[in-house]
Each structure stands twice: as structure tokens, then as C-alpha cells.
Amino acid sequence: MLRVAVMVSGGGTNLQAIIDAVKDGTITNAELVGVISNNADAYALTRARENGIEAICVSPKDYENREIFNDALLDKVNELKPDLIVLAGFLVKIPEKMVHAYSHRIINIHPSLIPSFCGVGFYGLHVHEAALKKGVKVTGATVHYVDEGMDTGEIIYQKAVEVLDGDTPEVLQRRVMEQAEWKLLPAAINMIANK
């Protein structure tokens, strides 16, 4: 059984897709051992609790500086003894120490076709705003391993999604989630759990 820890900052629809996929057998040979958030109010933590998964908050606000927070974050992750760490809308840059400790064992979902619309500043709705501004006709989502950079690690899966006339960032975000993110992330976890 692959021990999977999920890190989240927000609503957690991707987390929900993972929980559902474990329940309905789309993901096999994996168990969710904990959900960690930097944000105590993240609805994702409620989703974890409601599904009997340990929900942990490690907020930078509770620590004197970034270094101490980073160490606390790594401590919490280590306590879960994960084989795989899944970043599902986690808005904190993963400390280098953690990247090295979990080399090729951290994956992230990004709501564009990397290398388009990624890197610093490209998160949440900003990604879709940029895609619409550029006028691309196709966007999508990418699951990739996490390295020291921002959205630069080895690509695992990508899925294209059409941009339609009249799309707003919100409408496009929803389509990318429904057609790509919520499928791609469970598929990547299942692939890693069964390889």
C-alpha cells in the first residue's frame, strides 16, 4: 500500500477527486494517510475530517520565521511517513530540504499545459486569465514531479482542454478541473501506486 499525504491550501476539489477515486477503486494500492494545509480555514481540511483522514494545519503565522516554519512542515510530513506527497492546490513553495528528502516522491497538479502559463505568479485564476488574454485555443492541466524550481519538474501526465468563445476565467477554470485535473491527478497516483 502506497502511503499518500496530500498538501492543500484551499477548497480541495482535487483532494475530493482523490478521496472519491480511492473509494470507488479508480486508485488501487494506495491509502490517504493525512492532509496538511498551511491554512487553518481551508475547506480541504473539512473534507479530510469528514472522510476520516487526519487533517493537520501548519501555518506560517504560528512560526517566528520561514526557516522554522519550513522545518515544522517537514517534521509534520515526516510523521506521516508518506511514500508519495501530492500537492493539490498547495500555495507554499516546497522547501529545498523537503524536495531533497522526497526526491521523485512529490507530485503537483498545475492548471495549464506546462511550459505555458506556469512559474511564479501563475496560480489559481491567474493561470486562466493569462490563457484567455493570450488567446490560446487549447489549454489543460499537467501533473509533474516537484524539483527545486517552480513548475519545472519532470512531466508525468498532461491533458488538453478546449477554450471556448465567451469563456471567463471562472468558466475555463471549472472546465479544466472537470475535464483534466480531477482525472489526471488520481490517474497519476494510481500509476505510481501500481508501478
Q: Candidates 2, 7, 14, 163: give the one binding ligand GRF (CB under 6 A).
A: 14
Residue 142 binds ligand GRF, judged by CB under 6 A: no
Residue 139 binds ligand GRF, judged by CB under 6 A: no
Q: Which residues pair with 140 in a beta bridge?
A: 160
Residue 18 binds ligand GRF, judged by CB under 6 A: no
Cell numbers placing 47: 473534507
Share in percent of the chain as helix, strand, coil (round to 5): 40, 20, 40
Question: Looking at beta carbons only, is 45 or 192 nearer to ligand GRF?
Answer: 45
Region of 7-15, 71-79, 129-137, 145-153 interacting with ligand GRF (CB under 6 A): 7-15
Q: Candidates 34, 89, 153, 186: give the one binding ligand GRF (CB under 6 A).
A: 89
Name the helix (H) or strand (E) containing 187.
helix 182-193
Q: Which amino acid, 86?
A: V
Site for ligand GRF in 19-58 (CB under 6 A): 44
Please provide residue 120's backbone torsions phi and psi, each rounded to the nearest 5 degrees.
-60, 130
The rounded distance, in Å, linking the Cα atoms of 78 and 112 is 30
Residue 113 binds ligand GRF, judged by CB under 6 A: no
Is position 110 annotated as part of the catalytic site? yes
The rounded distance, in Å, linking the Cα atoms of 65 and 45 is 24
CB of 100 to ligand GRF, least distance (A): 22
Residue 109 binds ligand GRF, judged by CB under 6 A: yes
Write each residue from 163 to 192 as x if it is in contact with ligand GRF (CB under 6 A), else as -, in one continuous string. Answer: ------------------x-----------
Which residue's entry shows cell 483534466? 180
CB of 64 to ligand GRF, least distance (A): 28
Buried b (16+ CB within 10 A) or exposed e, 70-98: beebbebbeebebbbbbbbbbebebbeeb
Cell numbers placing 31: 491509502
Question: Can you give the binding site for ligand GRF, defined by CB under 6 A?
Answer: 8, 10-15, 44, 88-89, 109-111, 124, 181
What residues are labeled active site? 110
